[in-house]
Structure formats: C-alpha cells, structure tokens
Structure 1
C-alpha cells in the first residue's frame, strides 16, 4: 500500500479512503502529505454519491478499498456495487487499490474489483501476515502493465529487496499445500471463536452495527468508547474505540472487536461493569 501511494501520489494530492477505515492507512497518507477524502462505507460498497462529488470537485487519483471483510465492519462488496464503482473510476480517471488482506479467510464467491476489472483501473494488494505469521512481512501486488515498472522502481528505492529466506519458506508452504490446509483449519477455528465472542458480546449489552463475519466485529456499546478504552486499559485490557477508524477521530459509541481475542468471559464482565458505570455517569 505504501509503494502504491508513493508511486501514484504526490504531497497535497487528494485520495479517497473508506470510513470507517484502517487507522494506519489514514496515518500513512497523512504522513505523506495527502489530503484525505473519507467515503462512507456501506454494506454493499462505498457511498457513490459522495465519491462522485469528490471527483467533480477534487479530481482524486486514487481510492483505497477493502472489498472483502472490510476492516472494521466486515462488509463484503456486492457485485452491483462493484460494477457501479468501476464505472465511476473509468468516468473520472482514478485508480482503485484493492487491499485483500483477509483473502485466505474469505468465502470463495466474494466479489473482487480486480477480477471484474481485469486490472485496468485496479491494483490488487494482498499478503500472508493474517494467515501464517504476523512477522512474515511478505506481500504482493498485481497492477496494470503500465504501472508495473514505476511500482518496481519505488520498491527498489524504498526497501530494495524482500528477505529471500522468508520468500523461500513461504514458497514451500504453498507448493506443499500447507498454506491451503492451514487456511482451512483457521477458518474452522475462526467460526467457533466468532460464535462464542458474539454470544458474550450480546450478553454484555452490545449490539452489532454490521453482521458479525470474518475476523472483526463492529459493535455499538452505547457509551463513548474513547472514555471506555481508557477505563478498560486501567483494568489491563486494550480495545479499539470507534474514533480510531474515522479520519477526523470523532467520538463514537462503536468499537471494533477481534473475535479471536474476545472469547474470555472475564473480559466481558469487566466490560459490562464499566459500560454500566459510564451510562450511570452520563445520566
């Protein structure tokens, strides 16, 4: 994602991002001096009316999207939404970088912009950190032919090469079928973790703002999650308040949970006690 941003954009350029979205991406683009244009993300895709207005006024060159298992909502792009988005990209001459980080845990039928578009307006980015090991920082991208050389130049100027030992280890996992078998096991374990976490979250008084799928849940706590996060941290728990996922860091009652790390009933007991205290204090 950093390579794509550095290749296609210059300081001051406007770039469209999904909101809610990934806090690190907001921070990366801001550090590069970009003007961030937040686009509300809906269940079937981005708000195309907002995007069309940005295109008319700002003429952005790039839109950053997570089509499948969007972070933090878990939304998956619909075929109709994808078609209309690609029409808009062609009409207004901007590229779409499709971040498919969660591809290995996604359903096989999920819609990808890159597949529909044939890499004309799209740049496909993915990797293995979410399925094999966080420290295996090996990613890959597929891009329109005209962009391949500029992207390679940026990579060589920034990181030069990727560690060959990790690349060979990954190649072995793929060739011997270990990656496929491991992904199947992970999907089964994630389904079980999600079921338990959802049950505990509902019992603690949360509601889900989006259907609980994939790795993350987008839950409404009914209280200011910035204040809640500080109190949870005092109790030894780190949570992700909704403000993290908005470019303007606006206060929110929403928070993201990771289904694999919220299966502990003790966590939800503390959470329930603190949210009840927050509601009482607000009355």
Structure 2
C-alpha cells in the first residue's frame, strides 16, 4: 500500500503541487510527499472526517491536485468517516478538480459497512489503495490499487519504471490464502484477538492516569499523557521502550501531549508502570 501511494503521487503530481493530507496523520506519508517536493496542506481530522471548512478554504486558496485520506480506522486516531462528510468531500473534489487517494490499509479489521469514498464515488475521482500487512504479516509487502480506467495505464507505467515487478512467490501464497478462505478465517480470529487486546490496553492506560483523545478503535489508540511526549519518548527509551510521540503525526512536528499506542503491544503492566513513573 505504501508503494501504491508512491505510484499515485509520482504518476499524478509534479514538484510543487499542493496536496491535502489529514492531520494528525501518517508521518511516513508527510515525509514521502515532502521528499517528492510537494506542498503539504494539513487538514485537521475529527471524528466524522476532515474539517470541511478548513478543507474548502484550502481548496479555494491552493487548488490542490490530490487529497490523501484514511477513511476507515484513521491512523493514529481510529476515527472513521461519516457518510455526510464523505458526500461533501466528493463534492469538493468535483468542484475543485482533484483526485482522492483513499488508503484502506486497515480495511480487514474495520467494522462492517464502514463508509468508503471510493464505494460512493465509483472510482470516478478516487483511487483505492490497500494491502495485507496489517492482517497477515508486516513483511508481506503485497498491496493493490483500483483506479479510474483512464488512469490505469499511467499508473501501470509508473510502477514498471520504478520497480518493474513484485515477488511472485508471495503473491501466489496470498492468492492461495484468499482462494481457500484462509484469509477470511484468519481475519475473524485477528479481529477477536484485537478486541481483547484493545480492552486490556485501554484499562491499563486509564489506570496509569492517561486519557483517550479519541474513542479506542482498530489497532491504535490516541492517548493523552498530559506531558510533552517528545520528552516522554526519550525517558521511555532510557527504560527500554520505544513510543510514538504525537509530534510524529503532525506535518509541522509541533510539541504534543498525545502519543499513539499499538493495542497489540501495550498489554504488559510493566510498560505502563514505566510510563507512569516517567510522566
């Protein structure tokens, strides 16, 4: 999915083009767009989706070429897009002539019937991106994209020019998992295990004196510690723990009291004891 987003950017954009992104958002995406020379325009992300007033104002001022969005189980907040917000975003895309790259990396663990821009839009202005690393294994770097027909050849040429091909052995293994129903059954087990891990991590976080800035959902929790998490990250590193401070998820790296936790790796009381003593 990361490669798919890179292909979309290289195929549709040129250096200096304005790109709308959600903030907080994925730090790798900010860094990747910046390295390509794009003008990154952050739009605050809330429970229902991006701040539509800010988004409309940026569209008027900058005429963006692309909007990169995680509609469902947004990273790092866990928010999912509402139908009303999705409708307005598609209106803005039509009005201001930009494409939407919809990153559905967490789709395999998402609630049923969650709103996707690409489903509502029918791939007219949306490019749908997803992968399997969050449900199978991080080093199975297999993803896919679905795009408007008139963009397919351009995207395909960009992929061929950048990497030529991808490992067929892993693709065949994944195809077997899908055909035999193993991916579906594995997904059901993962969702159950994740729900248990999330409940456990939330309980420990609250007991440690933290609060949640967003309703816990999906893989990640957006936790308010009450202190500068850049400073907290250094203290925790001294204790042998690596945490993700909130500044990582802002395009301007502003100091922040928030941090992202992974529910699957924060179930040990020892971690929360170390964090509480570092606050």
TM-score, length of structure 2 as denominator length = 0.98
Within a 5 Å distance, the mapping from 1:256-271 to structure 2 comes to 256-271=260-275
Gap runs ≥5 in structure 2: none
Identify the range of structure 1 (245-254 vs 47-56) with the bigger mean alpha-carbon deviation.
47-56
Within a 5 Å distance, the mapping from 1:1-283 to structure 2 comes to 1-275=5-279
CA distance, structure 2, for counterparts of residue 17 and residue 242 of structure 1: 16
CA distance, structure 2, for counterparts of residue 150 and residue 51 of structure 1: 28
CA distance, structure 2, for counterparts of residue 89 and residue 43 of structure 1: 20
CA distance, structure 2, for counterparts of residue 45 and residue 106 of structure 1: 16
CA distance, structure 1, for counterparts of residue 118 and residue 144 of structure 2: 14
Stretches (4+) displaced over 2 A: none
CA distance, structure 2, for counterparts of residue 165 and residue 270 of structure 1: 43
- How far off its partner does 1:54 sit? 1.2
CA distance, structure 1, for counterparts of residue 52 and residue 203 of structure 2: 34
- How far off its partner does 1:49 sit? 1.1
TM-score, length of structure 1 as denominator length = 0.97
Superposition RMSD on alpha carbons, in Å?
A: 0.5
Number of residue pairs matched?
275
CA distance, structure 1, for counterparts of residue 114 and residue 133 of structure 2: 20
Corresponding residue number in structure 2 for 1:278: none
- How far off its partner does 1:55 sit? 1.1
